C-alpha cells in the first residue's frame, strides 16, 4: 500500500473531551447508564459538569483518537471532522496537528460551538460519556477532500457520526470515492446504543460499502440480536459479510473474522485499569497501522491489543509515551 499518500484517512466527530474522575454513586444519582455514550444538549451537559469534580480537558473524538494513535506509531494519518472557529475549536486543531495528523477541514464560522464530551471515569476505569455534538452535526459531503480520499489506503468511518443526515450522506460519498480509487473502507460501530438506533442502516451500509469492521463484543451482538445471545453467534453472523471483522472482547482479547478463518488473539497484560476511554480507538489504531504496512492479521490484532492496553493504563485516549517501537517489536 506504499502508493498511497496516507495510510488512513479518518472521518468522525471532532470533540474536546472533559475528563472527570467520579464515583458510581454520581452515575446512579444522575440516572446515567454506566459505560455508554449518550447525546445530550449543551444545558444538560453543563448541569452535569457543574455537579462534577475537577476536570481535565483533552482533544478527543473516536476517529481522531485512532488517527493520533496511527501517527504515534509512525503511520501517515489524516482526519476530517468539523469544529467551530472558537477557542475549543482552535485547541482541537492544534492538538490533532501536533499529534502528526493532517487536518484541513474548514471551520464553521457561525452556528453551534465546537463539540464537547463529558467523560465520567469511575474507580474501575469505566467511562460514561455525555456528548454535546455542537458543530459536529454540520459535517457534510462538501467537507470531504476527494484527493485525500482517493489517496488513502483505508478510509476509516466513525459510527458515532451516523446520526446527522448530512454526515451520513458524507459516509456514502466517501465510501464510493474510496472504492472507485481501489481503496479500502473501514467502519467502527462505536457504541451499542448507536447500533440500536441505526441497526438496519448499519447493516445495509456494511453489506454494500464496508471492507473492514471494528466492533466490541456488545456492539457486534447488538448488530445481530436475531442471531442468538452469544458472542460466537454474532461473530458467525458477520463472517463473509465483510473482508475483515476485528472484534474486541476486553480482557478476553480479540477475534479477527475473515471469510475462511477466525483468529483469536489474547489480551495484552495490564497492571491496572485507570481509564478505559479510547481503548477501542487505540485498538483500531494499532490494527490499521500494521494492516496498512502489509503485516498479517494476527500481528495487526496483537498491535491493536498492545495499544489498547497502554491507553487504559493512563488518563486520556491518546498515547502519552512513545509507541513507535511497538510494531517492529511484534514483527521482528
Q: What does the pLDDT read at residue 181? A: 97
**Percent of the chain whose pLDDT exceeds 70:** 98
List the beta bridge partners of residue 10.
Answer: 79, 156
Q: What is the mean pLDDT of residues 97-107?
A: 96
Question: Residue 2: left (phi > 0), alpha (psi -120 to 50), or beta?
Answer: alpha
Q: What's the pLDDT tens digit per position in 37-81?
A: 888 999 999 999 999 989 988 888 999 999 999 999 999 999 999
- What architecture is domain 6-13+62-107+138-331? 3-Layer(aba) Sandwich (3.40)
Q: For residue 32, list its beta bridge partners.
A: none
Of the pLDDT bands very low, low, confident and very high (cuts 50, 70, 90), residue 281 is very high
C-alpha cell at 57: 480537558
138: pLDDT strictly greater than 90: yes
- Please report the pLDDT score of residue 1 as a whole number: 47
Mean pLDDT of 16-28: 93
Q: Decide if pLDDT at 324 tops 90.
A: no
More confident position, 83 or 17: 83
Which residues share a beta bridge with 159? none
Given a cut of 50, whether residue 16 has pLDDT beyond it is yes
CA distances from 92 to 116, 157, 249, 326 (A): 10, 19, 30, 27
Query: So what's the pLDDT on residue 329?
Result: 79
Give the C-alpha distances (Å, rounded to integers) separating 322 from 46, 59, 134, 265, 325.
35, 18, 32, 23, 8
What's the whole-number average pLDDT of the chain?
Answer: 93
pLDDT > 90: percent of the chain: 80
pLDDT value at position 227?
A: 65
Dist. CA 232–CA 240, nearest whole Å = 14
Q: Supply the pLDDT for residue 228.
A: 66
Amino acid at each position: 500500500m506504499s502508493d498511497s499518500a496516507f495510510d488512513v484517512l479518518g472521518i468522525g466527530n471532532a470533540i474536546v473531551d472533559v475528563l472527570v474522575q467520579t464515583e458510581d454513586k454520581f452515575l446512579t444519582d444522575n440516572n446515567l447508564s454506566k459505560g455508554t455514550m449518550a447525546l445530550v444538549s449543551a444545558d444538560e451537559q453543563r448541569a452535569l459538569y457543574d455537579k462534577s469534580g475537577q476536570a481535565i480537558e483533552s482533544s478527543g473524538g473516536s476517529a481522531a483518537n485512532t488517527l493520533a494513535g496511527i501517527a504515534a506509531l509512525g503511520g501517515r494519518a489524516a482526519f476530517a471532522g468539523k469544529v467551530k472557529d472558537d477557542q475549543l475549536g482552535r485547541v482541537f486543531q492544534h492538538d490533532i496537528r501536533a499529534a502528526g495528523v493532517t487536518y484541513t477541514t474548514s471551520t464553521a464560522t457561525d452556528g453551534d460551538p465546537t463539540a464537547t464530551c463529558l467523560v465520567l471515569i469511575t474507580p474501575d476505569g469505566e467511562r460514561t460519556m455525555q456528548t454535546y455534538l455542537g458543530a459536529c452535526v454540520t459535517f457534510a459531503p462538501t467537507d470531504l477532500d476527494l484527493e485525500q480520499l482517493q489517496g488513502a489506503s483505508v478510509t476509516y468511518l466513525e459510527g458515532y457520526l451516523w446520526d446527522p443526515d448530512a454526515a451520513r450522506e458524507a459516509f456514502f460519498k466517501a465510501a464510493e470515492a474510496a472504492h472507485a480509487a481501489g481503496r479500502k473502507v473501514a467502519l467502527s460501530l462505536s457504541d451499542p446504543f448507536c447500533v440500536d438506533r441505526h441497526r438496519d442502516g448499519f447493516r445495509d451500509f456494511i453489506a454494500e460499502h464496508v471492507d473492514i469492521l471494528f466492533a466490541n463484543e456488545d456492539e457486534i451482538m447488538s448488530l445481530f440480536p436475531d442471531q442468538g445471545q452469544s458472542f460466537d453467534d454474532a461473530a458467525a453472523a458477520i463472517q463473509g459479510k465483510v473482508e475483515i471483522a476485528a472484534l474486541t472482547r476486553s480482557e478476553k482479547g480479540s477475534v479477527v473474522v475473515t471469510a475462511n478463518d477466525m483468529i483469536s488473539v489474547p489480551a495484552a497484560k495490564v497492571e491496572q485499569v485507570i481509564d478505559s476511554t479510547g481503548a477501542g480507538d487505540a485498538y483500531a489504531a494499532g490494527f490499521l497501522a500494521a494492516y496498512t504496512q502489509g503485516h498479517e492479521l494476527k500481528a495487526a490484532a496483537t498491535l491493536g491489543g498492545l495499544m489498547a492496553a497502554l491507553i487504559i493504563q493512563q488518563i486520556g485516549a491518546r498515547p502519552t509515551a512513545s509507541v513507535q517501537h511497538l510494531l517492529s517489536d511484534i514483527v521482528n
